[in-house]
Structure 1
Amino acid sequence: MKDTLMTPYAKNTLYIVLIALALRLLWLLLIPVIPVSDSVMYHEFAKSISSGNGYAFPAGNLTAYWPVGTPAIYAFLYTLFGESFFVIAVFNLIVGLLTLVLMMALARLWFNEQTAYIVGILYAIWPSQIQFTTILASETIFNVFILLGLFFWYRSQSNTLSNWIIGTIFFVAATYVRPIALLIPFILIGLSFLRGFDFKQLFSSSIIIVITMTILIAPWAARNYDLFDEFVLISTNGGPVFWMGNNPDSTGEYMPLPKDLEFDSETERADYFKSEAIKHIKEEPGIFAKRLAKRFVDYFRSENIGVNWNIEGIKQQGLDKTVLPLKLMSSGYWIFLVLLAIYGGIRIIRSDGFYNAITTTPIIALISYNTALHTIIASGDRYHFPIIPFVGLLAAYALFRMKSRIET
């Protein structure tokens, strides 16, 4: 009777989840939540929303600069439990465990159970993902919404359209966290079309998806129109971020905006920085080309952001000497998995063929989409988090193939 209570897969998943839980609880007990950088603003925005003042800066001016998704979620938690960083940390812990389970579910769906176990272990011990337990940030929230969308999108071949609608709802939730998710449903529809070349399905599904997205995004777009008298779908930071990676003083990574410029609205500022970035690219195509290469390298070269955004908590605990080792461990682990993922991708292409490799699952397509996007705009380790689940999946598949070759 006991053997029928849980399947072997469920038991093994539980063991992996418990390992992930233990590591994240240990980090949470050691490192306090002390917001820095964008985390400070997420907290302030959440306080404003939960107190009934709307999505506004501390001075009271309403905004749409950053996407509202993350502050809105934190505001909901603050409303229920009070303004507590511990509540955010517990929420992050739950998000991390759900991300792990979803990555395993997709690995099982797209590959096999052994790959699912491997990706679960890889994610359970992933340094940056453990470190994000004590950070107010959009990165892990975005990823869990994307994985939920993919899980429903691909979970069954029956009731395809209803699955796609549910998946789209989660993709829209991700869009409210980071607007780059807006195109993902259409990328997935395109991959489905390439697999089956069904024009009727392509047309009907596209219409339904557009309607679903419109219904869910329209209220926020209407709010923004009332605020700015201009159409703003989600946020106004697209132009500034584009400028950060493309201006005469750019390093290709995040940089602060000039403080000596004044604008009548956020939309005017967004348009200005977008036009300046385009102007710079047209005037300096050679520099733009060089920065493309640099941004590509910057996208993959390190993963220190978890340590950087926990720096005050680490220092408060008197653990300053651990900062460099933590960074080396985090970046070393990331680079190791990227190399494994490259091998995994090559193995899939060699066994399935290039066409099938890019259409059967969205892994390679979504890695390519996010990488291309941030190669054009701003780059750095904070921006590669959307591909973390897919790098993990490919790395796990690579280890599975290595294991299979050794055993044979």
Structure 2
Amino acid sequence: MDFNDTPSEAKFRAQVRAWLKQHATPKINGVAAKRKLPEAQQLQAAKHWQKKIYDAGWACITWPKAYGGRGGTQMELVIWREEVADYDELDGFFTIGHGMCGPALMAYATEEQKRHLLPRLASGEDVWCQLFSEPGAGSDVAALKTRADPCGNGWKVNGQKVWTSGAHFADYGIVLCRTDPTVPKHQGITFFFIDMKQEGVTAQPIKQADGGAHFNEVFFNDAEIPDIQRLGEVGGGWKGALTVLMSERMAVGSLQATGFPELLSLVQRLPLEDGFAIDNAAVADKLADWYVKHAGLKHTNSRILSAISRGAPPGPEASIGKLVAAPMNQDINSYAVQLLGMNGMVTDPELAEKQAHFQKEMLFAPGIRLAGGTDEVMRNIIAEQVLGMPQDKRDDKDVPFNEVPVGV
């Protein structure tokens, strides 16, 4: 494992640092103030920033230049993410589009569609969402029931999706639909993209515990999709779904927070009855446990970076990292709120410690454990794909979908 940049990587990092220093907004005392703005203002700030980096040639670094990218390496993308993390710029609105929808379009869209849609996505002109999860499917994406029935030269879609991040402001979405219920569930799915502003598509934000409404229910009521918006073969949607899900785990895993640096900063100056929190034996014991996990994740990530730098594909570490980091993030933020005592109940950013960072993160953390695959899904991936353990028995695997008993 090599912690140092190669000469070419060091040169690229220096270029990134110089450009960001001149054009990006630094954080103030480590706080990203733009993240506290109302969502509409955040979206406009994110679009402005995305257009700026697109015009300067820093957007979607690994994408081909013909599609609006830089034509760079995966390691250059890692370096960009490491450096831009020190600045108060918003890019989360495009994580799904750039990290999940873009790769799907590159794999399955027509060349004309790629040259039209991808530069608009890279420049921030369009926002995309992912329409996979459904109320009755749980973590089993292949159990979806949203139907796409042939209609003239296209398809008519009816059904419901849920937990769709950003659907209420998205311009387009990638969607999985059941096109043949008479075959086993994985075989009867087809992959499409859809205009989120068209007739027959309704997004309803879901109010969250942290006060936001980032997730949505999405309803399709006779929404018509031309066949040209089909991605891949009819009935071949599961292959496309796997492309997106693998991209999702890499995108989510690369952004996974542990909460440890923020907690360490807090306890160094938080007074308790017997002195500063960091000098308290119980607090120190917690810090030691979390430091070990944080350091382990840091060096595991270094293994990923070393592999990428050598040109090798990332291994299973992304699933391991998410399985450790997401629960850790939830535990740390909950503990920080407890340490704050009565002040932990204050959620007004103007009054609360660190602009109510820990309060907001504590309420949002359970959702992070679901995004990109639940803890149970991550354990199954590690068990089956890393340890080589046998798959769970699945009684519905070879049964036509319309014959699967409810509850199986």
TM bucket normalised to smaller: under 0.3
TM-score (norm: length of structure 1): 0.27
Higher share of residues assigned strand: 2
- More contact order relative to length (CA 8 Å, sep ≥ 6): 1
TM-score (norm: length of structure 2): 0.27
Higher share of residues assigned helix: 1
